[in-house]
A = this chain, B = another copy of it.
Amino acid sequence: MRPTVYIKDLKNHVGEEVTLKGWLYNKRSSGKLKFLILRDGTGYIQCVVFKGNVSEEIFDSADKLTQESSFEVKGKVKAEPRSVGGYELDVTDMKTVAISHEYPITPKEHGIEFLIDNRHLWVRSKRQVAILKIRARIVKAIRDFFDSRGFTLFDPPIITPNACEGTSTLFEMDYFDLGKAYLTQSGQLYVESGAMALGKVYSFGPTFRAEKSKTRRHLTEFWMVEPEMAFYNLDDDMDLAEEFLEYIVQTVLAECKEELKELERDTTKLEKVVRPFPRISYDEAVEILKKNGINFEWGNDLGGTDETVISGQYDRPVMVHRYPAEVKAFYMKRDPENLKVALAVDVLAPEGYGEIIGGSQREDDLDLLLSRIKEHNLPQSFFEWYLDLRRFGSVPHSGFGLGLERTVSWICGLEHLREAIPFPRMIYRNTP
């Protein structure tokens, strides 16, 4: 009984009689004609019910369909450039599956809290469908990129006994008789062990931050991809990040035209995301801030506004490298030519979307790493296994992390991360 034809494939069925199954998106009437817009998850088509072509019972049933009622419809496919999707169905038969009574999300405006309360239904709307399809296409682009370049997927654990970047923003749980455990904030330490085993690896999974930030750029649960490569230095890392972002954006541009149009995305901005990306040092970034009248002190981390000013200078992502070591994680390698800075890079998206990639070359010297752990007051015992990676065949290595939802937001042109994931989790919401 499953559908044999979906709306997206109708171009191969012009002139044929097909049966489609889905939900009523919209309808209108004009005397002896009823126009039903059917959606089936793959697209939209206008189904034309002409009184002369169907029984009275069927004609009446078309009238009774309400928004989001489910039905099956049989008819002949014809090309119709003026119609949504470019095709129409001349209906010969119809069967109502279930009538939907007072569907809560109507074409009128709704408040955002109401929509998120109804996220399980909101995902059916045209805009959300477009975003979710782009999200899925981005995920596939990410995986294809690494799979076709000799990387091996290496899934780090979600439940971890310790913290990667401090303990204040961790979700904590009881783990049987073993005491407290935490939800991972990053798989990075683990993928480093993978890089030593497999050369080039990546992880791609959910990560968690119990951050009390209520901004549009924060989710408590978000997906992150983290490649890690043995024998890569910071320059190699930046080369890879640049190629990676170009690939994602250009793939979506080529393959999600309909969805970007639905979102009214200005694609000319995305077309500019091609290599080479500008690479500036943190020092140069500070100069830019000062030139723009911002009172910024060397040594601070870049804030959201700072990032917007810097990325505003460029028409494509900008890579800011060599941050003050003090503001970066303990595992980042210092620049041998200037020990005050870490061999780190942040990639700032254009159009004010902020940091989408953070990466670095990792400290590969055992003694230096040990002293960083002490400086950061981290318990060495938790990191013994990680230190082993420096005890046994340490090599220069680098990697980065890209946040999926920030990338989806940027590419789709969203104002808030909450639309970039099916069921957003924020400080004040973990439902539905």
A interface vs B, CB < 8 Å? Answer: 1-3, 6, 8, 21-24, 40-42, 68-70, 97-98, 100-101, 103-104, 118-121, 123-124, 128-129, 132-133, 135-136, 139-140, 143, 147, 150, 152-161, 171-178, 181, 183, 190, 193-200, 205-206, 208, 210, 212, 220-221, 223, 229-233, 235-236, 364, 385-386, 388-389, 391-396, 421-423, 425, 427-432
Contacts and interface: CB of A to CB of B under 8 A. Distances in A.
A218 to B, nearest CB: 13
Contact of A178 (B119, B197, B430): B430
Lowest 10 A-B CB distances belong to which pairs?
A41-B199, A385-B432, A120-B193, A41-B198, A136-B153, A2-B236, A70-B393, A123-B197, A68-B393, A157-B423
Given A150-B42, A158-B158, A231 B135 contact: no
Contact of A152 (B132, B221, B236, B396): B132
Contacts of A429: 178
Contacts of A155: 206, 223, 421-422
B232 A2 contact: yes
Contact of A120 (B171, B385, B432): B385
A197 B212 CA distance: 32
Point out which of A158, A174, A429 has the most chain B C-beta atoms below 10 A from its C-beta.
A158
Contact of A220 (B159, B235, B431): B159
Contacts of A364: 98
B100 A391 contact: yes
B430 A160 contact: yes
Contact of A6 (B150, B173, B389, B432): B150
A424 to B, nearest CB: 8
Given A2-B236, A155-B421, A172-B173, A196 B124 contact: yes
A170 to B, nearest CB: 10
Chain copies in complex: 2
A45 to B, nearest CB: 13
A202 to B, nearest CB: 9
Contact of A197 (B129, B161, B431): B129
Contact of A171 (B173, B195, B396, B430): B173
Given A197-B132, A199-B42, A393-B98, A388 B120 contact: yes
Contact of A231 (B3, B153, B205): B3
26 contacts: A1-B232, A1-B235, A2-B233, A8-B150, A21-B230, A41-B230, A98-B394, A100-B393, A103-B393, A120-B190, A120-B193, A121-B193, A133-B152, A156-B423, A158-B221, A159-B208, A159-B220, A159-B221, A159-B425, A175-B430, A178-B429, A190-B422, A190-B423, A194-B422, A205-B206, A206-B206
Given A6-B150, A121-B392, A430 B173 contact: no
Given A152-B133, A197-B128, A1 B210 contact: no
A41 B128 CA distance: 41
Given A129-B198, A156-B423, 6 more contacts: A6-B199, A40-B230, A101-B391, A120-B388, A121-B392, A181-B430
A172 to B, nearest CB: 7
Contacts of A221: 157-159
A91 B212 CA distance: 57
Contact of A173 (B2, B173, B198): B173
A123 B41 contact: no
Contacts of A229: 2
A21 to B, nearest CB: 5
Nearest to A220: B159
A333 to B, nearest CB: 13
Contacts of A133: 152, 198
Contact of A392 (B68, B153, B236, B428): B68
A396 B129 contact: no
A167 B161 CA distance: 23
